[in-house]
């Protein structure tokens, strides 16, 4: 894992091999450093073979942080199919769109479930938060 600056001021986080919980701290450090140092961050994952949930969560968290900081983050040359499939299997349906219009609020791994739970919560609030007990005959 390494972070470097390009001549145009873009911060690049380059990773290779297998990204797992073992090297998640290094990925987190590189992502933080990139976001602190540049307004534009490119993730170079072309040489990544596999990625686990811990590293996917770090990448998604970095994306959300970049939005809060009004910075851009994206995958430079795209993603290997294995990384796209791991992201899809983990509930990140279009991680390659990161930095585009389709990725953001409502596109995380729990976005589908959260909309139905919001409806249920709204119904509970509307009824006073409690279910009415049935009267015994």
pLDDT, tens only, 39-80: 999 999 999 999 999 999 999 999 999 999 999 999 888 788
Query: For residue 73, what are the β-bridge partners?
Result: 41
In whole numbers, what is the pLDDT of the chain averaged over residues?
Answer: 78
The two three-digit tokens of residue 75, written as one number: 């995958």
pLDDT band per the 50, 70, 90 thresholds, residue 81: confident
Average pLDDT over residues 103-109: 40
User: Which is more confident, 38 or 118?
Assistant: 38
CATH architecture of 2-121: 2-Layer Sandwich (3.30)
The β-bridge relationship of strands 72-75 and 11-19 is unpaired
Query: Taking the model in full, what pTM does it have?
Result: 0.71
**Any idea which of 46-60, 64-78, 86-100, 108-122 has the lowest mean pLDDT?**
108-122
> Shortest CA distance to 37 belongs to which of 55, 60, 13?
13
Domain residue ranges in the chain? 2-121
User: How many residues does the structure list for the chain?
Assistant: 137
């Amino acid at each position: 894992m390494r972070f470097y600056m390009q001549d145009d001021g873009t911060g690049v986080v380059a990773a290779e091999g297998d990204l797992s919980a073992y090297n998640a701290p290094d990925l987190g450090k590189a992502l933080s450093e990139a976001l602190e140092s540049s307004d534009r961050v490119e993730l170079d994952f072309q040489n990544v073979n596999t990625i686990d949930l811990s590293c996917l969560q770090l990448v998604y968290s970095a994306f959300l942080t970049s939005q809060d900081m009004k910075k851009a983050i994206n995958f430079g040359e795209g993603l290997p199919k294995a990384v796209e499939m791991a992201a899809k299997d983990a509930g990140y349906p279009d991680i390659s769109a990161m930095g585009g219009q389709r990725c953001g609020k409502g596109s995380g791994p729990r976005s589908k479930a959260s909309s139905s739970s919001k409806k249920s919560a709204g119904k509970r609030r509307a009824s006073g938060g409690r279910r009415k007990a049935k009267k015994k005959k």
